[in-house]
Structure 1
């Protein structure tokens, strides 16, 4: 009968001591583990389904007293090897693994399995992960960085690689972890200056300066053996790793080692040594590097994940920054580009809205617009969780209608936010006040918020993040974008305008938010003029505002061209804007061709306002 044995002793204060486990056929000597293990390991000696059950129990039993489980048993060692490499970490899957079945005998070797600390966040497959310390990045990565693996941070100069590395280390300091930065390109003073520019210090971070700047003391160099220099530099790096034994480490930058390698594959072999030792120490290692190079000089296949930082400079305005994940093993992440920003205080990433699953939409109800005749035109009002587009040429009163709707919805218990892309908050407020819409009380009690947005300084991802924060954290139920023309100017690539707006409206609709967007059409009559974006299929409701000429004067007309949910009035009504705001008249039944701008009067007496 096989029995379980527990090894709690540490030989020489560093290594697991030798021991014996008795079986029915004799005894087995367990060799000394080459890697220091602390806290003491637990040894489990079982096979197949029985060992899987023991591991499940040990996850609960040993979490408070040990960090490592040693497993001995037949072909199960191969399974444990996969576990150590992160290919299979869940003990529940051990019994299902073909490599674990029908093991015969016990090999003379020991493998270890790390057990997550109690309360430590874990992925769905049971592997622990740690926070990157960069707001928004953990969400992009699907939860964070897996513990004990190597990640590459790629990008050109000035994209924020070192800043991201420092944020990663500062998060480790905040959590009480040992941190190390090995700098091969910047001195300690230069790193301190970079940290100071963000209001940080390097306190708690072990800094090892391996730049070699000033080491020569001006002595001339007659010749230099690059391979010898590479071996020496890697040796210094491994020595720093052994001395600090960090839980988080940043190597900045890999290109400093690449220039010392003159033989294909030499750099990769050295990187494998560093990767292996970091994995043994359960250390998260971030390697900073440029975004180009062949595989032998840029061993991307060694990385568990790769983060690539990019920036672009347009003809006007500040540079735009974004991030994407070209590679990440073993976990679901948000694919595609994500906008990011570097300000004092570090990097902030804005995850793309298109990849965020919509929650179950709440039960929708119809909300009054506060204008009885407009409610009639809309078939009762606006439905929660839908979007409405106001289309028309300049001066037809789109912003006035937005202010009236915002006032009415805020008063009916729908807290809202209006984003202004073309005018200041003061201009919007003064105009609304002059047209009978007193927004002051709604602004004071927080039921309504006005936000001025500069398209040149706010990326689409950052704007979507602001919207998401207001909806999810502050309970906003009504959002107006005035106007969409200004918002589209913030799009760096107009090929994806439709997709981005569709994702934005879909997200807000999934949250039960009423969304109102305005779009200005060019020309006084806007007849036959193309729109920057076809909102007819993106928006649930389309409200059309038009000029028309009659009896020697310019008049305005409004109609509902589309309503996806429910019926609506199909008439065209005249409206006027005065001290009481927007006032609608009766349907224009005695005119033909109103939407052309030059209608034909077919009645006997004037029905106009």
Structure 2
């Protein structure tokens, strides 16, 4: 059965079984009630009969007023309230009354919110006996049942509720000076091929939006392609042995001012002109700044975007949610049928993903996702200045790149000379000598190979 929440079905492996029990746990303010209610209301919209059991000191009218702030709220849901202080002291009476209500309504889905306050004042042994009695009753309800509860992560597994439920969803949040990052993970799933790991989510007036962690496994059924893709600069295509391989991941490494962005934009504009839509992912320059930058070379980037040939995804590094960013990329690819992607620059992930291994895996997942769909990707990477040839192992994503193009500039006799080298290219007999290049009103222009300089070394 679908939960009715985009992203949640995906991480659960398709939804929840019916009948089944799901415990939505977390600390206060993490969105447990919102998640449960959103699923309940989505089911009600599809014609299911649902019941919200609210254990609260608030009356039903006030609860409806609070829930009505969300756009997903359905007025026709059934709500029954139980006073929290009574439930803490006398849970058995509540269980009998709730059983009578459920026998009368015969709901398809039920949310009990929260279950951790039931019998709160009882000794642990008595609370465990009550929970097993509740579980016996649930088995007769033949419904999808959600519980919410306030628990720290370390206390979830030791709680008796963990023994009786099929699924455990844990919500948490981290605060820093710039933003709040919310996480959702599965601590227990029964009978479904779930996606493990820490996924992220947002809460807004439309409810909860979940962004699954993307592992993008390698698709071994896709054969390697020998088809070439023009980068938009014929001499550079020639140096590469005929262009980039379709579906490959390619890296442009260079210091500030070497023309990495210009080369990437030229790659995207070349594709757009040939009917190959492209996505630009940028962390620093806004779309308006990119339009102006492209216009300096006579490229109508704005016009191509308005025609649906190009999509620009601009995100500030400080606000970047990697999972949400991946979902935005997938959506953009689907909307325009993208065949090219330009990421400028990979160090934008440094702020959002502190762990270098996790950061590398995220970039690898992005390139695998592109490769699985036959999309050719071009990424830029900033290297320190005044280095003649950046070492491959100093470039953190070099192992996932099929080709590495390095851009360098040196001051020679008061003239700033730019040179390009193909440091690596899998499966292609590329040019081994570096080449001079320049950036002028036409964009990125290859001048000639530096064979003489190479022989001196």
TM-score, reference length from structure 2: 0.92
- The residue number in structure 2 matching 1:550 is 412
Matched, 1:248 2:109: yes
Q: CA deviation at 1:189?
A: 4.4
Report the Cα distance in structure 2 between the residues aligned to 1:469 and 1:349, rounded to whole angstroms: 14
- The residue number in structure 1 matching 2:35 is 164
- The residue number in structure 2 matching 1:205 is 77
Choose the corresponding residue for 1:147, options 15, 18, 23.
Answer: 18
Q: Identify which range, 375-384 or 335-344, moves more after superposition.
A: 335-344
Choose the corresponding residue for 1:327, options 181, 188, 195.
Answer: 188
Q: 1:464 to 1:291 in 2, by over 3 A?
A: same
**Contact 1:148–1:278 (CA<8 Å) still a contact in 2?**
no
Report the Cα distance in structure 2 between the residues aligned to 1:376 and 1:280, rounded to whole angstroms: 72
Q: 1:200 to 1:335 in 2, by over 3 A?
A: closer
Choose the corresponding residue for 1:175, options 46, 51, 54.
Answer: 46
Report the Cα distance in structure 1 between the residues aligned to 2:57 and 2:240, rounded to whole angstroms: 64
The CA deviation string for residues 1-55 of structure 1, in whole angstroms up to 9 with x for no partner, is xxxxxxxxxxxxxxxxxxxxxxxxxxxxxxxxxxxxxxxxxxxxxxxxxxxxxxx
Q: 1:476 to 1:542 in 2, by over 3 A?
A: same
Report the Cα distance in structure 2 between the residues aligned to 1:457 and 1:474, rounded to whole angstroms: 25
Matched, 1:290 2:150: yes
**Contact 1:525–1:548 (CA<8 Å) still a contact in 2?**
no
Report the Cα distance in structure 2 between the residues aligned to 1:377 and 1:190, rounded to whole angstroms: 70
Choose the corresponding residue for 1:229, options 64, 72, 90.
Answer: 90
Matched, 1:352 2:213: yes
Report the Cα distance in structure 1 between the residues aligned to 2:157 and 2:236, rounded to whole angstroms: 64
Q: 1:333 to 1:240 in 2, by over 3 A?
A: same
Counterparts of residues 135-534 of structure 1 (less than 5 Å): 135-185=6-56, 187=58, 188-212=60-84, 229-261=90-122, 263-292=123-152, 293=155, 297-314=159-176, 316-354=177-215, 358=219, 360-361=221-222, 364=225, 365-472=227-334, 474-491=336-353, 493-523=355-385, 525=387, 534=396
The CA deviation string for residues 529-575 of structure 1, in whole angstroms up to 9 with x for no partner, is 99885222111110100111212222111111111122211111111
**Contact 2:349–2:359 (CA<8 Å) still a contact in 1?**
no
Report the Cα distance in structure 2 between the residues aligned to 1:454 and 1:512, rounded to whole angstroms: 28
Report the Cα distance in structure 2 between the residues aligned to 1:229 and 1:297, rounded to whole angstroms: 20
Choose the corresponding residue for 1:568, options 430, 436, 447.
Answer: 430
SS of aligned partner of 2:352: coil
Report the Cα distance in structure 2 between the residues aligned to 1:203 and 1:290, rounded to whole angstroms: 27
Q: Which has the higher helix share?
A: 2
Report the Cα distance in structure 2 between the residues aligned to 1:153 and 1:391, rounded to whole angstroms: 45
- The residue number in structure 2 matching 1:42 is none
Relative contact order, higher structure (CA 8 A, sep 6+) = 2
Q: 1:467 to 1:565 in 2, by over 3 A?
A: farther
Q: CA deviation at 1:252?
A: 0.5
Report the Cα distance in structure 2 between the residues aligned to 1:552 and 1:592, rounded to whole angstroms: 21
SS of aligned partner of 2:171: strand
Bigger Cα Rg: 1
Report the Cα distance in structure 2 between the residues aligned to 1:533 and 1:321, rounded to whole angstroms: 30
**Contact 2:44–2:74 (CA<8 Å) still a contact in 1?**
no
**Contact 2:232–2:270 (CA<8 Å) still a contact in 1?**
yes
Q: CA deviation at 1:211?
A: 2.7
Counterparts of residues 71-150 of structure 1 (less than 5 Å): 130-150=1-21
**Please, which runs of 5 or more residues in structure 1 have no aligned partner?**
1-129, 216-225, 594-599, 603-609
TM-score, reference length from structure 1: 0.70
Report the Cα distance in structure 2 between the residues aligned to 1:483 and 1:320, rounded to whole angstroms: 22
Q: CA deviation at 1:592?
A: 4.7
Q: CA deviation at 1:238?
A: 2.7
Q: 1:186 to 1:411 in 2, by over 3 A?
A: farther
Matched, 1:580 2:442: yes
Report the Cα distance in structure 2 between the residues aligned to 1:480 and 1:384, rounded to whole angstroms: 14
Q: CA deviation at 1:488?
A: 2.9
Aligned residues: 453
SS of aligned partner of 1:168: helix
Counterparts of residues 28-39 of structure 1 (less than 5 Å): none
The CA deviation string for residues 216-267 of structure 1, in whole angstroms up to 9 with x for no partner, is xxxxxxxxxx985232333333333333321100011022115232x22322
Name the Cα RMSD after superposition.
Answer: 2.5
Q: 1:515 to 1:530 in 2, by over 3 A?
A: closer
Report the Cα distance in structure 1 between the residues aligned to 2:242 and 2:295, rounded to whole angstroms: 26
- The residue number in structure 2 matching 1:101 is none
SS of aligned partner of 2:112: strand
Q: CA deviation at 1:192?
A: 2.7
